[in-house]
Protein backbone atom coordinates (compact mmCIF):
# COMPACT_ATOMS: atom_id res chain seq x y z
CA UNK A 1 0.00 0.00 0.00
CA UNK A 2 1.22 3.52 -0.80
CA UNK A 3 0.70 6.94 0.76
CA UNK A 4 -1.82 7.78 -1.96
CA UNK A 5 -3.86 4.67 -1.15
CA UNK A 6 -4.34 5.64 2.50
CA UNK A 7 -5.85 9.04 1.64
CA UNK A 8 -9.37 7.66 0.92
CA UNK A 9 -9.18 5.57 4.09
CA UNK A 10 -8.59 8.64 6.26
CA UNK A 11 -10.69 11.10 4.24
CA UNK A 12 -14.00 9.88 2.86
CA UNK A 13 -15.22 12.76 0.71
CA UNK A 14 -14.06 12.84 -2.92
CA UNK A 15 -13.36 16.59 -2.82
CA UNK A 16 -11.10 16.09 0.22
CA UNK A 17 -9.23 13.26 -1.47
CA UNK A 18 -8.75 15.31 -4.62
CA UNK A 19 -7.59 18.35 -2.62
CA UNK A 20 -4.94 16.29 -0.84
CA UNK A 21 -3.69 14.45 -3.89
CA UNK A 22 -3.51 17.66 -5.93
CA UNK A 23 -2.13 19.96 -3.23
CA UNK A 24 0.63 21.74 -5.13
CA UNK A 25 2.25 23.55 -2.20
CA UNK A 26 3.41 20.31 -0.56
CA UNK A 27 6.46 18.34 -1.49
CA UNK A 28 4.86 15.06 -0.42
CA UNK A 29 1.58 13.27 0.17
CA UNK A 30 2.62 12.91 3.82
CA UNK A 31 2.72 16.70 4.20
CA UNK A 32 -0.49 17.20 2.24
CA UNK A 33 -2.36 14.76 4.48
CA UNK A 34 -1.03 16.40 7.64
CA UNK A 35 -1.66 19.99 6.54
CA UNK A 36 -5.12 19.24 5.18
CA UNK A 37 -6.12 17.16 8.19
CA UNK A 38 -5.07 19.89 10.61
CA UNK A 39 -6.55 22.77 8.61
CA UNK A 40 -9.94 21.07 8.28
CA UNK A 41 -9.95 19.70 11.83
CA UNK A 42 -10.14 16.13 10.53
CA UNK A 43 -7.03 15.68 12.69
CA UNK A 44 -6.81 16.65 16.33
CA UNK A 45 -3.56 18.35 17.26
CA UNK A 46 -2.56 17.41 20.85
CA UNK A 47 0.68 18.32 22.60
CA UNK A 48 2.81 15.34 23.63
CA UNK A 49 2.33 16.39 27.28
CA UNK A 50 -1.40 15.82 27.01
CA UNK A 51 -4.63 17.51 26.25
CA UNK A 52 -6.35 20.57 27.65
CA UNK A 53 -10.05 21.08 28.20
CA UNK A 54 -11.25 17.65 27.09
CA UNK A 55 -9.91 18.01 23.54
CA UNK A 56 -10.27 14.32 22.71
CA UNK A 57 -13.84 14.11 23.96
CA UNK A 58 -14.80 17.24 22.05
CA UNK A 59 -13.13 15.81 18.94
CA UNK A 60 -15.17 12.60 19.29
CA UNK A 61 -18.37 14.62 19.70
CA UNK A 62 -17.57 16.68 16.60
CA UNK A 63 -16.82 13.50 14.64
CA UNK A 64 -20.10 11.94 15.76
CA UNK A 65 -22.03 15.04 14.74
CA UNK A 66 -20.40 15.40 11.34
CA UNK A 67 -20.80 11.69 10.52
CA UNK A 68 -24.25 11.28 12.10
CA UNK A 69 -23.30 8.35 14.32
CA UNK A 70 -22.67 7.52 17.96
CA UNK A 71 -19.24 6.24 18.94
CA UNK A 72 -19.63 6.56 22.72
CA UNK A 73 -22.34 7.15 25.27
CA UNK A 74 -22.33 10.31 27.36
CA UNK A 75 -21.31 8.23 30.39
CA UNK A 76 -18.34 6.79 28.49
CA UNK A 77 -17.30 10.26 27.34
CA UNK A 78 -17.53 11.58 30.91
CA UNK A 79 -15.35 8.69 32.08
CA UNK A 80 -12.81 9.58 29.40
CA UNK A 81 -12.85 13.20 30.55
CA UNK A 82 -11.95 12.20 34.09
CA UNK A 83 -9.38 9.56 33.12
CA UNK A 84 -6.00 10.44 34.62
CA UNK A 85 -2.85 9.56 32.72
CA UNK A 86 0.85 10.30 32.72
CA UNK A 87 1.51 9.99 28.98
CA UNK A 88 -1.00 10.60 26.21
CA UNK A 89 -0.88 7.09 24.69
CA UNK A 90 -2.43 5.80 27.95
CA UNK A 91 -5.51 7.93 27.32
CA UNK A 92 -5.59 6.98 23.64
CA UNK A 93 -5.69 3.32 24.71
CA UNK A 94 -8.70 4.06 26.92
CA UNK A 95 -10.40 5.92 24.09
CA UNK A 96 -9.79 2.96 21.79
CA UNK A 97 -11.41 0.58 24.28
CA UNK A 98 -14.58 2.67 23.96
CA UNK A 99 -14.47 3.35 20.21
CA UNK A 100 -13.58 -0.23 19.28
CA UNK A 101 -17.00 -1.43 20.40
CA UNK A 102 -18.41 0.59 17.48
CA UNK A 103 -15.75 -0.56 15.01
CA UNK A 104 -13.66 2.63 15.15
CA UNK A 105 -10.33 3.67 16.58
CA UNK A 106 -8.29 6.75 17.36
CA UNK A 107 -5.08 6.63 15.34
CA UNK A 108 -1.94 8.75 15.56
CA UNK A 109 -0.52 10.18 12.34
CA UNK A 110 3.28 10.52 12.47
CA UNK A 111 4.71 13.99 12.99
CA UNK A 112 8.15 15.51 13.21
CA UNK A 113 7.23 17.67 16.20
CA UNK A 114 6.23 17.41 19.81
CA UNK A 115 2.56 16.78 19.19
CA UNK A 116 0.16 14.08 18.17
CA UNK A 117 -2.04 14.38 15.10
CA UNK A 118 -4.97 12.11 15.93
CA UNK A 119 -7.76 10.96 13.67
CA UNK A 120 -10.67 8.53 13.82
CA UNK A 121 -10.94 5.69 11.30
CA UNK A 122 -12.69 2.37 10.96
CA UNK A 123 -10.91 -0.58 12.54
CA UNK A 124 -11.51 -2.65 9.42
CA UNK A 125 -8.86 -0.43 7.79
CA UNK A 126 -6.37 -0.73 10.64
CA UNK A 127 -3.98 -3.18 8.93
CA UNK A 128 -3.81 -0.99 5.83
CA UNK A 129 -3.20 2.19 7.81
CA UNK A 130 -0.42 0.74 9.94
CA UNK A 131 1.71 -0.62 7.10
CA UNK A 132 2.73 2.56 5.24
CA UNK A 133 5.95 4.31 6.25
CA UNK A 134 5.06 7.98 5.94
CA UNK A 135 8.18 9.65 7.31
CA UNK A 136 11.61 8.91 5.96
CA UNK A 137 13.52 10.84 8.62
CA UNK A 138 16.37 8.74 10.00
CA UNK A 139 16.31 10.74 13.25
CA UNK A 140 12.79 9.57 14.08
CA UNK A 141 12.50 6.06 15.55
CA UNK A 142 11.38 3.57 12.90
CA UNK A 143 8.00 2.64 14.45
CA UNK A 144 7.09 6.33 14.81
CA UNK A 145 7.31 6.84 11.05
CA UNK A 146 4.05 4.91 10.65
CA UNK A 147 0.48 5.60 11.68
CA UNK A 148 0.04 4.12 15.16
CA UNK A 149 -2.85 2.51 16.97
CA UNK A 150 -2.54 2.27 20.73
CA UNK A 151 -4.36 -0.66 22.32
Please give the model's pTM, rounded to 2 decimal places.
0.92
H or E segment to which residue 39 belongs: helix 29-39
Ranges of the chain whose pLDDT falls below 50? none
- Nearest residue to 139 via CA among 120, 119, 113, 121: 113
104-109 sheet: strands from edge to edge? 44-47, 115-122, 104-109, 148-149
Residue 26 has a pLDDT of 62
At 75 the pLDDT is: 95
Instruction: Quote the pLDDT of residue 10.
Output: 93
Strands 115-122 and 148-149: unpaired
Of the candidates 19, 32, 95, 17, the residue with the CA atom closest to the CA atom of residue 60:
95
Supply the pLDDT for residue 24.
59
Residue spans per domain, the chain: 3-149
What is the per-residue pLDDT for 135?
86
User: Which stretch of DSSP H or E encloses residue 15?
Assistant: helix 14-21
Amino acid sequence: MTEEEIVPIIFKKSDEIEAILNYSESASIYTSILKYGLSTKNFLYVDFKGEENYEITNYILDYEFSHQLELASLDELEDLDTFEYEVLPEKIKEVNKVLSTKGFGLFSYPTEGDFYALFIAKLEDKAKLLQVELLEDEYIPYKERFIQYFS
